[in-house]
């Protein structure tokens, strides 16, 4: 069997879900930045972590406001997601530029993106610096998914697939579902 080296170690950990992180910024605008390095951390308390390059404005926004909505785009939003990752909210009003429709959240003061198929409402708990990245630990205060998009097994990917990020411009939808057998 032959193996080859990936372009980078992290290529082996993609495709993975990409989210659009929305927060309110020191420049007075709402910013929206795609992030694919996101992970659940604990259930009690409900916690996630975001890995954000220290140069990215969304980091300053979350630290300024202390809250973020984590929006789950479907494959319908592939161009918007890629576009939001090519400009900075420092220079551009991304909400205007990309025509994002926003709605209020329930437990946090930042808005969410109407078109997304689900969202989490989060507050900043802790920052840990690793390399070029700030790992933000965020407590999840509330979460919702579009009812027609979920089953008892999570996303009903025959109706709406969350968007997965491969690398660069390459994105994926979720593929086949496999049920594991029961042990005798």
In the complex, which residues of this chain contact ligand FMN (CB under 6 A)?
18, 31, 33-37, 51-53, 56-58, 81-82, 85-90, 165
The alpha carbons of the chain give a radius of gyration, in whole angstroms, of 17
d(CA 184, CA 100): 51
Measured from the CB of residue 168, what is the shortest distance to ligand FMN in angstroms?
A: 8
Measured from the CB of residue 121, what is the shortest distance to ligand FMN in angstroms?
A: 19
With tokens 């007075």, the residue in question is 28
The residue number whose beta carbon is nearest to ligand FMN equals: 85
Measured from the CB of residue 61, what is the shortest distance to ligand FMN in angstroms?
A: 7
Q: Which is nearer to ligand FMN, 54 or 177 (CB)?
A: 54
Three-point CA angle 154, 109, 46, nearest 5°: 40
Q: Which is nearer to ligand FMN, 51 or 125 (CB)?
A: 51
d(CA 2, CA 134): 36
Measured from the CB of residue 182, what is the shortest distance to ligand FMN in angstroms?
A: 36
- Indicate if the alpha-carbon torsion angle 94, 96, 97, 101 is positive or negative: positive
């Amino acid at each position: 069997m032959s193996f080859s080296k990936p372009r980078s170690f992290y290529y082996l950990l993609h495709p993975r879900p990409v989210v659009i992180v929305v927060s309110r910024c020191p420049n007075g605008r709402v910013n929206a930045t795609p992030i694919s390095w996101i992970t659940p951390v604990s259930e009690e308390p409900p916690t996630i972590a975001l890995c954000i390059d220290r140069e990215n404005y969304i980091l300053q926004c979350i630290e300024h406001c202390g809250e973020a909505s984590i929006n789950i785009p479907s494959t319908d939003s592939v161009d918007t997601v890629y576009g939001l990752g090519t400009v900075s909210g420092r220079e551009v009003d991304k909400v205007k530029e990309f025509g994002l429709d926003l709605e209020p959240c329930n437990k946090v003061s930042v808005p969410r993106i109407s078109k997304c198929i689900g969202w989490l409402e989060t507050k900043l708990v802790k920052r840990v610096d690793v390399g070029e990245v700030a790992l933000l630990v965020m407590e999840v205060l509330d979460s919702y998914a579009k009812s027609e998009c979920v089953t008892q097994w999570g996303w009903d990917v025959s109706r709406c697939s969350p968007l997965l990020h491969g690398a660069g411009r390459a994105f994926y939808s979720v593929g086949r579902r496999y049920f594991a057998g029961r042990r005798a």
